[in-house]
Amino acid sequence: MKKFVLFLSLMICISITSFTETTNFQLGLTPTLNIGRNENIKGLRIPVFFGTAEKVTGVDFNLFTSDVDEFVGLQSGIFLGAGIFNKVNTKFKGVGLGLVNLHGGESKGVLIGVTNFTNEFEGLKIGVFNYSKSNSNYELGVINYSKKSFLQLGIINITNQINGIQIGLLNFSNNGILPMMPFLNFNLKL
C-alpha cells in the first residue's frame, strides 16, 4: 500500500509539473530523462548521473554531475556534502560545493572545491587549485591563478595584475613589487 501511495504521489507531481513553465522539483535520471521535464526549476533539483537544466533557483543536490545554464542558490551533493562535478554555463549566484566547480560566465558568491575553474568571479574561492580566466576577488588555495586578483593566499599565487596582496611561498604578478616575490607581493600603487 505504501508503494502504491508513493507511486501515485509521484505521478501526480509529474502531471502537475508537465503543464507549467516552471517546476518545483526535478529528478534527473539521465541527460534526456527527467522527472519534472521543465527547464526552469524553482525549488529542489536532484540530477542522479548527469542532469541538465536551463535555469535553477533553489537547491541543486547532485549525485554525480550537474549542468545548468543559470543558477541561484546552493549547489551541493552526496560526496561529503559536495557534488562531484558542478557546471554552470552563463550565470551563478550563491554557494557551490563540489569536487570540481566549472563556471563559464559571471559568478558571484562562494565556491568550495578541490578544483575551481571560473571565468569572471566575484567572491571567495577555496580549493586546492583555483583558476580564473579573468577577474577573481579572493582566492584561498594551494595554487591560485587569475588574470586580475585582489587577494591570493596560497603556496603558489599567479596573476597578471594584483590589485591587493599575495601571500604565499611564491608570488608572481606583473605589477607587483617584483614579478616574483617570496612570501608577500603587492602593487606599489595601492
pLDDT greater than 80 at residue 153? yes
For position 173, what pLDDT does the model report?
A: 96
d(CA 91, CA 68): 9
Q: How confident is the model at residue 53 (pLDDT cuts 50, 70, 90)?
A: confident
Grid cell in block for residue 4: 502504491
Contacts of 125 (CB under 8 A, 6+ apart): 110, 111, 112, 116, 118, 132, 136, 138, 139, 140, 141, 144
For position 80, what pLDDT does the model report?
A: 67
The answer to whether 143 and 153 are in contact (CB under 8 A) is no
Tell me 18's DSSP state: T
Q: pTM of the full predicted structure?
A: 0.83
- What does the mean pLDDT of the chain come to? 85
Average pLDDT over residues 58-78: 89
Amino acid at 10: L
Average pLDDT over residues 151-175: 96
Grid cell 554531475 is found at 65
d(CA 77, CA 86): 9
pLDDT in tens, 113-141: 999 999 999 999 999 999 999 999 999 99
